[in-house]
Structures are given as C-alpha cells and as structure tokens.
Amino acid sequence: MKPSLLLIDCMPTKALAAQYKLTYVGLGLIAQPELLEGFVCVDLATVEGQARIMDWLRQNELPSQVKCSLDSPDFQGAASDFLQAKIVGLTRVLEAMLMLNTVVEWEFVVSPTADIWSRSCEAYFRTLAQGLSEELPQTKITFG
C-alpha cells in the first residue's frame, strides 16, 4: 500500500504518483488529474478555505507526508492576499495537521527564482520550523 502525500499548491508528477497516493489542495489547474486520489479546491487566503481544508483533514485519512509550495507564479492580486494565503493559511493548516498527528513529514518548496514574497514566507516557516523542532522533535519539517 502506498503512503499518502498531500500536495499544497504543488503539481503532481508521474514520479510522485508512482510512490504515493496523491491529494491536491489549492486553486491551481491540474494538468494530469488522473494522477490524483483526491482534489480539494480551496483558497487558503480565506477563512472559509482554511476551514474547508481543516474539515477535510478531520474527515479523511491523514497523509503521512505533505509537500507545500511557497511559490505561486500564477498568483494575481495584492501581496497581502498572497501572504494571507501562504503565511496565515498554511500556518493554520500546519497547526491542524500537528494537532491531529505530530508524526508527519512536511516539506516546504520554493523555487530558486522565487520572488521576495515567497522568500519572506520561506524565512517565516524556517523560523517556525526551528522552534517546532524543539517542541515536537518527532515532526520532520524540511525545505527543498
């Protein structure tokens, strides 16, 4: 049986689908939906979107791993909306995951060409991960 991987704003690939049961969360269009076990269309910049993903986490089998993009190259809107989704929204999802299962592997991904807003999100989550490593040593948070 394949382990499950939750993709947050990360596109599925055939390589990932060969290794994991994939579920996608986000607003992006999926080029290969057949690679997915599930799809949750949410806007993490909204309270409703954040609540929807938290409900989904409580009602479904928790993924053993999460891969989360801090980039959104196709994002159109104010920087404050982007930061609301990436920092506030993702922090709420991370917190919900850790309340349900502290033994999770979470990978934050940011491209080498990321803009300043994505880099600021990365800095925030690196600081948070450093503090969480002391509080929850069983949780593995990495950056790729």
Q: Each residue of 20-54: pLDDT tens digit? A: 999 999 887 667 778 888 888 888 889 999 999 99
Q: What are phi and psi of 101, to 5 degrees?
A: -160, 110
Which 8-state DSSP code applies to residue 60?
A: S
pTM of the complete model beyond 0.85:
yes
User: Could you name the CATH architecture of 4-143?
Assistant: 3-Layer(aba) Sandwich (3.40)
Q: Give the model's pLDDT for residue 48.
A: 93
Cα 137 to chain centroid, rounded? 20
Instruction: Name the percent of the chain lying above pLDDT 70.
Output: 97
Query: What is the domain partition of the chain in residue ranges?
Result: 4-143
Question: How many Å apart are CA 20 and CA 78, to the nearest integer?
Answer: 34
Q: Range with the lowest mean pLDDT among 73-82, 99-108, 132-141?
A: 73-82
Q: Give the model's pLDDT for residue 73.
A: 66
